[in-house]
Amino acid sequence: MKKFQGAFPERAVRMETLGEAVRTGDRQFRRIHRAMREASRVLDLDRPPELFVRLDREVNACTIGMDRPFVVLTSGLLELMDAEELRFVIGHELGHAMSGHAVYRTIAHYLAGAGRMLSSVPLGGIGLQAVQVALDEWMRTSELSCDRAGLLVVQDRDPCLRALMKLAGGAHLEDMDIGEFLRQGAEFERGEDLRDSVVKYLISRPRSHPLAVVRVAELDRWSRGAGYRSVLSGDYALRRDDAKASVGRELRATGVSYADRFRRSTDPLLVMVRDLAASAAQAGDHVLGAVRRGPDGT
C-alpha cells in the first residue's frame, strides 16, 4: 500500500498542495514553522514533515502521505488557536505521521469502497463490514493516541484541553470552563438509560473522530495517570528496540487497555453487560463447586 500510494496518488496530492497552499519556512509563517521544528525535536523526529497553510474557513488540520508525510493547517485553525494550542495541534499531527496512521486509513478507505460494491451481493459484504467497523473504531482511537502526542509536545494539560474545547465551542474561552466541560463529558458517558447508549453508538459510528467531550475526558484522564508521568520521566520504548518488540505482548497490552476502559465505563449498556458477566461468572462458580462436591455434598 505504501509503495502504491507513494508512486502516484501521494505525489499528486502533494503537488496540488504545493500549488494552492503556502509552505511554511524561515520567511513564511515563521512562528508555526518554528513550532513544527520544536515539536519534532521533542518527539525525536529527525526530519520534520513539510507544513502548509491553506486558505479555508473550516477549522481543520490533516496529515497526508505515507512515504513523505506532510501536514496541512487551515487558515481557520490559525485564527482560532493561540500559540500553545497550535503546538498541541501540530504535535497531534506529528503523532499521525510518526505512527503511520495514513496506511491504515487508506486501507479503511479502500475496504469501504469494496464493501459498497459487495453490498448488492447477498451476504457478500458482511465480512468486510465487520472489518470496516473494527477499522472505524481503530481510527477514532488513533485520534486519542495523537492527542497524547500533542500533550507530550506541550507538556501542559490546560492549553491542550482548551484546544479541544474550541473545537466544540469556538473561540469564546471566556464563556467556557474546563471543569464544567469535564462534568459535561461525564454526563455524556453516564447517560440515563439504554436508549442513550444506543444513541451514542449511532452518532459515533459514522465519525472519524471521537466527540469533543470524549477527547477532553480521555486526555485529562491520561494526563493524570502513571503512563504520562512515566514518559516524562524517560520510561518509553526506543526505536533501537523495535526488532525486539513482541506482537503478542502488544496484543496483550491492548487487551488490558480495552478491559480497563470496559471496567471503568459508566455507560448503561456496558454496566449491564458487566453485571451480567459477573452474574454468569458467579453462577458458573456455583455450578462448578456443586459438581466438585458431588451428589452427597462431599
pLDDT tens digit sequence for 85-107: 999 999 999 999 998 888 777 77
Shared-domain flag, residues 228 and 270: no
In the structure grid, which three cell numbers stand for residue 109, read together? 478507505
Task: Report the chain's mean pLDDT, rounded to a whole number.
Answer: 85
Shared-domain flag, residues 228 and 269: no
pLDDT score recorded for residue 260: 81
279: confidence class by pLDDT, cuts 50, 70, 90: low
Residue 18 scores a pLDDT above 90: yes
Q: Looking at 235, 251, 283, which one is the last position of a domain?
A: 235
pLDDT score recorded for residue 287: 53
Output 18 or 197, whichever has higher pLDDT: 18
Shared-domain flag, residues 22 and 74: yes
User: How many independent structural domains does the chain possess?
Assistant: 2
Task: Assess if residue 284 is contained within a domain.
Answer: yes
Task: Assess if residue 247 is contained within a domain.
Answer: no
Query: Which H or E run includes 62?
Result: strand 61-64
Shared-domain flag, residues 30 and 130: yes
pLDDT digits over 43-80, tens only? Answer: 998 889 999 999 999 999 999 888 788 999 999 999 99
pLDDT score recorded for residue 205: 82
The answer to whether the predicted template modeling score (pTM) of the entire model surpasses 0.85 is no
Shared-domain flag, residues 89 and 214: yes
Task: Assess if residue 255 is contained within a domain.
Answer: no
Residue 165 scores a pLDDT above 60: yes
Task: Assess if residue 260 is contained within a domain.
Answer: no
In the structure grid, which three cell numbers stand for residue 270, read together? 456496558
Look up the domain containing 285 and give its range: 265-298
Task: Assess if residue 240 is contained within a domain.
Answer: no
Alpha helices in the chain (DSSP H): 2-7, 9-20, 30-42, 75-80, 83-99, 101-118, 126-154, 157-169, 178-190, 194-204, 212-223, 226-232, 247-264, 268-293
> Cell numbers 469494496 correspond to what residue?
114
Task: Assess if residue 257 is contained within a domain.
Answer: no
Shared-domain flag, residues 87 and 228: yes
Shared-domain flag, residues 136 and 25: yes
Shared-domain flag, residues 85 and 156: yes
